[in-house]
Structure 1
Amino acid sequence: MSLAPRRRPTLSRLVLSLSLTLGIASPVLSQEAARPTLAAPANAAETALRDLYTREWEWRQAEFVREKVDGRWQSSGRMPSVTPEAWARRADYWKRTLAALDAIPLDQLGREERINAAVFRTSLEADEAGARWRTYEAPFNSDSFFWGGINPRQPYQTEADWRRFISRLGDVPRYFDEQIANMEAGLARGWSVPRATLDGRDKTLEPYVQTGDANPLLATFDRIPASIPENVRTRLREEGRRVVQAQTIPAYARLLTFIRGEYLPRTRTTIAASDLPDGRAFYRTQILEYVTRDMSAREIHDFGLAEVARITAEMEQVKRRAGFEGDLPAFIDYLRTDPKFYAKTPRELLGEASLIAKKIDGQLQYVVGTLPRYRFTILPVADDIAPIYTSGRGGLDACFFNTYDLPSRPLYNLPALVLHECAPGHSFQAALALEAPARPDFRQQTYFSGYGEGWGLYTEWLGTRMGIYETPYEEFGRLTFEMWRAARLVIDTGLHEYGWTRDQAIDYLASHTALAKHDVVTEVDRYISWPGQALSYYIGYRTILDLRAEAERELGDRFDQRPFHDTILNLGSVPLPVLEEEVRRFIAAQKASAPTR
């Protein structure tokens, strides 16, 4: 799953996206000068569309207090407003913008602008729906928290960045107070995060209420790089620590008191999206947002059941190749309990992930035609969130691997995890986006889970063609990850549409994968508290895999996976129907260019 510093801030989880981007330190690298310029509009329809999405983008940056620094949009010196009035204003603006988009004759647009229009519409519809449903009244889930991404994961590199950070820290009290008011409103109408998914989540606040150097925010100011002059470092450290002590720590303390004393005791005891006010209709909008195609819960559930059966048969074959004589549940228990499959130290796990990443580097030239200049690093998940975090996340600047509870982090899963999170998955994909073909600013910042997570899961399968899986156990780890995502189709719809219990979902995932029990519980709680998002991975993956099969069938021995992958990656994040249309255009062009005999 992507760490998502580039994610489109969909309204159903905009607060989460904002909290994540706030904590990402931007590189000094500027892409602005290298980026090609857009071609001039070809006619009045293209001019109208470009004016519309340009105005919306500029309005959005002002609305969410972002500014452009070295060619990249990032958070400014304030936190965004999250009041109901602000969200109502945004909902009204997006509704009016959709109406204006409806008035533009799409048949008069060229190919690129038709893609822009489809991306723009899909984004706006999700944003407007999220604001209309008032999802900001439940502004976190079991996995991600608006209070957890404020501290940078890596130190800022310029004085200006540090001063913006200090200014944001001073704005935290107002921002948290608005979030608390929203959560109060959600509780009053029965719109909250399910209580069953929140055990221990309050503990992620505890480090930030400490007044000593163990507070991560205070410790951050000891990491100002030496590239900043010493006298400036001293001033920044003193000013930052003063703001944290006087303003930020008390705000975290008030939030912790509210979460423990008010929110947790009053959150809903139900778990399904269908149990929310008008919840079945809400779940339908979540499916559409994350799958970006018109699919019913029943269609998804049945597809998931069929895929679970298919992958189970493949798992049986791999088990036999491993020479294991027992049944599949016994093999899974063996993988979960034998110490040889687990790292003894965090450094060993991170070292193994790094070795796999370098092995992948040697194969990338055979996978894609364009390699990005930007590089990621490998880091552990931060201690304050590691106990309730997933196994890994990948973003532009870093791939994070969870080293908490090492007996829950099997090494046989690492090859698939590195492929997905690092390269040619999320970090690689994000780096290519910096060097993307000319496209509007809003396209650079748009993220659809079906596309992005679908690509990530596809790269796990691609590892079978790259020679990354060396043992039957690693291949079983890959199948476990594929099964994990297929099972999500069954579990997510089961939970939110068909009345499954939390225990039923946990048992289903545990019995069909070799995931550690810790991960199983963490994942199921994420599906409960984030309806629909888990559906995007497998639907996107199968879309790409089916398109590859179609290309291989149509092109025969002329099929080359490098331009096929370049076509997908050069598009940037798009809805799945757009992806299908553009890949089929590529296939047709390849066929047309075939030499005649």
Structure 2
Amino acid sequence: MEKKLLAALFAAGVLSAATLPVHAATDADARFKSIYTAEWKWRQSQRLARSEDSTGVQPTLPHVDARSQQERLAYWTGVLKQLDAIRPADLSEGERVNYAVYRAQIAALAEALRFREYEQPVNADSSFWTNLAYMTRNPLKSAQEYRNYISQLHEFPRYFGEEAANMRAGLARGFTPPKVTLAGRDAPLATVAEAKTPQDTIFYAPFKAMPASIPAAEQEQLRLDAAAAIRDDVQPAYRRMLAFMREEYMPHARTALAAESLPDGKAYYQSKIVEYTTTSLTADQIHQIGLSEMAKIRAEMEQTIRATGFKGDFAAFLSFLRTDPQFYAKTPEELLMRAAWVAKKFDGKAEQYFGYLPRKRFAIVPVPPDQAPYYTAGRGGPGVYLVNTYNLPARALYSLPALTLHESAPGHAFQMPVALEQKGLPPFRRAYISAFGEGWALYTERLGVEMGIYENAYETFGMLSYQAWRAARLVVDTGIHAKGWTREQAQAYMHENTALADHEIETEVDRYISWPGQALSYYLGEMAIQKARAKAEQALGPKFDIRNFHDTVLQLGSVPLPVLEARIDTFIAQGGKSPYTQQR
């Protein structure tokens, strides 16, 4: 897969938009469009995608059993053969970009199925049951949507049964998360399974405040139907899964940490590198990049320590940051308010750095308590910035500005809505590509220096610590999965090179252990965006406008890094104009 994917991304003509004129639609365009249109309709029929005009809740959950998964593999393998029959050079300029994005996407989907990743629907960071909980956050607007939601609740026994069968198959061949990373991850299951009443579960939340447009009598009946579905289907499914996790899965999960220790592990880890970085880099190459970048960041950190006036060495400064009460909020509300303050500071700078501002706003909310102990410090997306208020001595205020830029605006809660608001793109272009999305979010942390977000040297150090954290991921992820590193070795490396609290280090390292490759996307993505910006600044000189550059990057949506590079070549060739000016 890797060879074919890279050939698609790098072959002559695929990524050479800067040197070619705009072409009208071609016969190859029509063939390509028929392929992805048919595949997308099929994907919707499988409940793996939603139509662009669909805002409602579907009445069913997808089938995830092994037979369905293998049928999907056969289908996507066929799609890849159809794509390989098209010469990218025969496509028009816009469709070449679509081809590069689409082929990488289909290849990654097929590879995940080929390695039977569906047999491991849980890791230290998330699981299929925590993903299901997200359905409770979407506002329901009509009685029909409420009925569809209840219909989904009735599907939980079937869905959980299929996932349990997959997990047993993974257990039989040693394809599980490492046992050490699963401790406590059954807590969200217990919260639902052991709730005293259906109304006490998260799945009843949409029924606590219903639209006034639904008659009161119908509201009452829907509440009764929901409570019955939760009591008779949801909670029993959760109880069976909780017993399975505690009695069968967690006790017998594998003890080895490395992805390369899994069945066909070396190829599997390389497939995750390709998926999450959209590059052909090897584990060894990425490890060395991480070590080199860490050395550069350390020099910046040392200089920033001197700016604070601190007299001790690096280790002493980290200890000072981790233990001095001045750097930590005293209440969850204080942490949330400080996060809101940083977000509003960006609002005051936004128009200086972005020509296009998304319409979608975001809320700042705490991470749900049953997830918080094992959750990241924050997470953002369209409409929401989740802030983890659990264990406040682990949530440093000097890192909060960088975290907020990354997760809210101009990071994830800004970039994703901009992508979703772009018109005229095929629906598969709405998918999230980690190297681009995480690379952008990390880039915005550095951008905070230019925007004046960091108010003192401690906050600047917090940003640099976060940069070091992401560079350390290159070292730690490859160290664990390709070089035989232990969990303790990875934790020690993070402790010695970043200002992260020990709780966060432990949570993060377990995340990398159980989610191979994902941690590599951040820093490599940021490096690609920084490289593209430096190239544009040098080529355009006084014509370079940071707003036009940012708009050009974000208008792409989410693309493989070579596509980004090619787009900036076009941006330079067109004189650094705003993509929105050209549209008008």
Task: Give TM class, smaller chain.
Answer: over 0.9
| C-alpha deviation, 1:145, in angstroms | 1.0
Partner residue, 1:171 = 155
2:61 match: secondary structure: coil
| C-alpha deviation, 1:153, in angstroms | 3.0
8 A contact 2:276–2:518 mirrored in 1: yes
1:146 aligns with 2:128: yes
Distance 1:469 1:592, change over 3 A: closer
Cα distance in structure 2, aligned partners of 1:592 and 1:360: 24
1:204 to 182, 188, 196: 188
State the TM-score, normalizing by the size of structure 2: 0.92
Distance 1:285 1:122, change over 3 A: same
1:232 aligns with 2:218: yes
Partner residue, 1:576 = 561
8 A contact 2:364–2:387 mirrored in 1: yes
Cα distance in structure 1, aligned partners of 2:447 and 2:537: 14
2:82 to 59, 79, 100: 100
| C-alpha deviation, 1:226, in angstroms | 4.5
Give the unaligned 5+ runs of structure 2: 1-21, 579-584
8 A contact 1:211–1:245 mirrored in 2: no
2:40 to 15, 35, 57: 57
Deviations 1:245-302, CA, capped at 9 Å, x for gaps: 0111000000000000000111001110011011011101110010001101111000
Cα distance in structure 2, aligned partners of 1:225 and 1:531: 43
Cα distance in structure 1, aligned partners of 2:149 and 2:559: 32
8 A contact 2:549–2:576 mirrored in 1: no
Distance 1:546 1:141, change over 3 A: same
1:399 match: secondary structure: strand
Distance 1:464 1:228, change over 3 A: farther
Cα distance in structure 1, aligned partners of 2:360 and 2:260: 43
8 A contact 2:120–2:177 mirrored in 1: yes
Question: Which letter maps to 2:306?
Answer: R
Distance 1:400 1:591, change over 3 A: closer
Partner residue, 2:288 = 302
Cα distance in structure 1, aligned partners of 2:167 and 2:418: 38
1:453 aligns with 2:438: yes
| C-alpha deviation, 1:339, in angstroms | 1.0
Deviations 1:226-245, CA, capped at 9 Å, x for gaps: 55443332222111111000
Question: Which letter maps to 1:105?
Answer: R
Partner residue, 2:17 = none
Partner residue, 1:31 = none
1:79 aligns with 2:61: yes
1:47 aligns with 2:33: no
8 A contact 1:322–1:472 mirrored in 2: yes
1:128 to 110, 114, 121: 110
The percentage of aligned residue pairs carrying the same residue is 50
1:331 to 309, 317, 338: 317
Question: Which letter maps to 1:143?
Answer: D
1:222 aligns with 2:208: yes
Question: Which letter maps to 1:472?
Answer: A
1:378 match: secondary structure: strand
1:256 match: secondary structure: helix
Partner residue, 2:463 = 478
Cα distance in structure 2, aligned partners of 1:592 and 1:180: 53
Partner residue, 2:19 = none
Cα distance in structure 1, aligned partners of 2:440 and 2:144: 35
1:269 to 249, 255, 265: 255
Cα distance in structure 2, aligned partners of 1:316 and 1:65: 48
Cα distance in structure 1, aligned partners of 2:528 and 2:219: 50
| C-alpha deviation, 1:65, in angstroms | 5.9
Question: Which letter maps to 1:466?
Answer: M
CA RMSD of aligned residues (A): 1.7
State the TM-score, normalizing by the size of structure 1: 0.90
Cα distance in structure 2, aligned partners of 1:550 and 1:238: 61
Question: Which letter maps to 2:92?
Answer: G
1:45 match: secondary structure: helix
8 A contact 1:41–1:47 mirrored in 2: no
Give the unaligned 5+ runs of structure 1: 1-38
1:394 aligns with 2:377: no
Cα distance in structure 1, aligned partners of 2:120 and 2:371: 19
Cα distance in structure 1, aligned partners of 2:54 and 2:468: 37
Partner residue, 2:175 = 191
Distance 1:228 1:468, change over 3 A: farther
| C-alpha deviation, 1:223, in angstroms | 3.5
Distance 1:380 1:592, change over 3 A: closer
